Chain A
Amino acid sequence: MTKVLNVASDFARSPSGRYLSDGPNSGERFREELLYPALSSDQVEVVLDGVLTLGSSFLDEAFGGLVREKGLSPRELRNKLVIRSRLDTYVNKIWSYIEDPKNRKH
């Protein structure tokens, strides 16, 4: 079964920041409360369209954090995760954070 996560409607229209201490719409909160639990489904489709702005620290913590903090493998995520965005940059960056999570954290 595919679980669809629409970041704008299910989380926030302006996600920002890396950690919980950076604000209520942080990447850490998105990962812990929505993204990681959703990964118990066969497939997860994350829709980014509708989000007003996104930062790399949010994306890195939310998606790179799945590998870094949750121990999931990039291969596993390639099979499970589908990212949808009209802006290719977001999709490219998310996969680069997943493939290379350590080097991306600043």
Chain B
Amino acid sequence: MECILSFFTKYRDALITITWVVAALGWIVTNRQSNTREKRKETRAEVDVICKAAAEILVACRAYYADGPGSENDDTRSAQIAFDVKRVLSRTQRLSRKVKAFESAVPAGDEFFEAVTQEPFQSKSREKFGPRSEVLTRVEGSVHNLIDKLEEGFTKAFS
């Protein structure tokens, strides 16, 4: 007992310092883990939003091409698709600037942009196209690719 007391008396200052250092390190580690968890949650939410929006654009494209250019809402539909495409591209670009692992999603976004807004999008002389047409399978492929790249980016960043 005397031995322990003399140890604490002798190293009192050092022990106080060590206690503070351990507490500070604990705080740093907890804080870092909490930040990573928050960032992971925010990024997951953003990835989900982009993936959902891209999938909805595919649905909108199918409806758009199922009708010819003479349909009543043709311009409204194409304007909405173009608007949604731009939002998907902006969000993907922002995400890739925030988290480096999403860089490969940017070229996938470029491809998606091209596939959705390619000819005959917004053409007044286009034909009707079914879901298995070349135009729509290209859109579908680009949506798959974009979603895959986003999921890959997420896995790369947080696993």
Contacts and interface: CB of A to CB of B under 8 A. Distances in A.
Interface string B81-106: 01101100110010000000000001
B109 interface: yes
A53 B118 CA distance: 14
Contact of A22 (B109, B114, B124): B124
A92 B110 contact: yes
Given A89-B110, A89-B113, A54 B79 contact: no
Contacts, number: 72
B137 interface: no
A22 B122 contact: yes
A22 B113 CA distance: 19
Contacts of B119: 18, 56-57, 60, 105-106
B78 interface: yes
A16 B122 contact: yes
Contacts of A92: 110
Contacts of A16: 78-79, 82, 122
30 contacts: A16-B78, A16-B79, A16-B122, A17-B123, A18-B122, A22-B122, A22-B123, A22-B124, A22-B125, A53-B83, A53-B86, A54-B117, A55-B82, A55-B117, A55-B121, A56-B114, A56-B117, A56-B121, A57-B117, A57-B118, A58-B117, A58-B122, A87-B93, A88-B106, A89-B106, A89-B109, A89-B110, A89-B113, A93-B113, A106-B118
Interface of B: 78-79, 82-83, 85-86, 89-90, 93, 106, 109-110, 113-114, 117-125
